[in-house]
Structure 1
C-alpha cells in the first residue's frame, strides 16, 4: 500500500519501523520519524505518547504481521514466515528487535520455539524426524538457525555474494542447503558426537 493511502498513525509507525531497523531505537529521534512520515513531531507524540510508546506499537504490529490470521501456529511454517518478511524494512526491524531484546520479540521467539517443538515432535511420531533426547533444546536451536540469516544479513550476503539473502533465488539456495544439512547432516560418522559426549562425561 502506498504511504499516501495510509493513515497518519500508520505512516508514523512505518517510518519508525524503517528508521529503527536501520539505525536502532536509541539513534533515531522523534523529529526524524516525523520528517520521514511527513507529519509534525507533536502528532507523533499525540498518537504514541513517547518514542518508547511508538517502539512498542512497532513491535506489536510486527508480531501481528508474523502471526497472520492463523495465530501462533503460523510461526511454525517457515515458508510462510519467509514470505511474510519479504519487505526489507520488516526484516531489518525484526533483526534489530531480537538483538535489542524487546519483550515483544522475546515473546515471539518463545512462541516460535514452542510451535517448532510441537511440529518436530509430530514429525518424530510420524517417522520423518529423528528422535532426540532433548526436544526443547533442539527446537530452540532450530529457530535460532532459521533466524540466523536474518540477524547476520550483511555477513551472509557478503559470504554468498548476494545482495539480499531473502531475495527469491538466494533464499531458495540457502533454504535448500539448510534442509540438506538438517536431512543428511554434516559429519559422516559419530567422531565429533563421541568427542562431545566424552567432554560431558569428563565434567566434575
Structure 2
C-alpha cells in the first residue's frame, strides 16, 4: 500500500492528465481510461481518487480556481495569473466554458464572483474606479479576460506573441488604466438607450 504522499502525487498526476485531456477533447469526449493511461495509472485508481468523471472535472475546476486565490494587490490579479500560467489550465478553462453544461455555468459564475470581490476590494483600497453596477463590471471584465482563450490563435497571429503574454496584457492594461476614449460621447449615447 502506498504512502499518503504517493497517493497525493498520483492524485495530482491524474488531475493534471485530466486537465490536458479535458482541454483537448472536452469533458464529454474524454474517457477515464485515456486519462488513466495519460497519468500512468490504472482506471481503478482514478475512480478511487475521484469517484467519477464528474468528480474529476470538479477537481480540475477547483485546481483552476485555486490558482486564482491569493494576492490582494494588482500584481496578484487572479484571473490574469491563471491565464498567463500553464497552457493546460488555459485550454481546460476554454473548453470547459464552451461545453455549455451546468458545470461550465457554475464555473463561470464562480470566476465572476471572485473577480467581483477582487474589484470591490480594489475599489475600497482606491486602486479601482467606482462603478454604478459592480456585477456588470465583473462580468464584462471576466469576459474580456477570457476572450483570448477563444480567439487565441488569431490574437497570437496578429500580436506575434502569446495572447496572455506581456504584449497583450500591456495593451489591455493601458486601455483599462487610461481609458480608450477621450470623452464620454459613447457612454452618454448608451446611457440614453437605457432611458
Which interval holds the TM-score relative to the shorter structure?
0.7 to 0.9
Deviation at 1:129, TM superposition (A): 4.7
Question: C-alpha deviations, 1:139-189, integer Å up to 9, x for none?
Answer: 332233233323432332233233x323xxxx2211221122123322233
Q: Among 2, 25, 30, which residue is 1:28 paired with?
A: 30
Aligned partner of 1:59 in structure 2 is 61
Query: In 1, Cα distance between the equivalents of 2:95 and 2:69?
Result: 18
In structure 2, runs of 5+ residues without a counterpart are 1-5
TM-score by length of 2: 0.78
User: SS of the residue aligned with 2:68?
Assistant: helix
1:51-90 aligned at under 5 Å gives the runs 51-68=53-70, 73=72, 77-78=76-77, 81-82=80-81, 85-90=84-89
Deviation at 1:102, TM superposition (A): 5.1
The answer to whether 1:103 aligns with 2:97 is no
Summarize the Cα distance change of 1:197–1:118 in structure 2 as closer, same or farther, 3 Å threshold. Answer: same
Q: Among 109, 114, 119, which residue is 2:117 paired with?
A: 114
Query: In 2, Cα distance between the equivalents of 1:13 and 1:178?
Result: 32
Runs of 4+ displaced beyond 4 Å: 73-76, 128-131
Query: In 1, Cα distance between the equivalents of 2:181 and 2:163?
Result: 25
Deviation at 1:119, TM superposition (A): 1.0
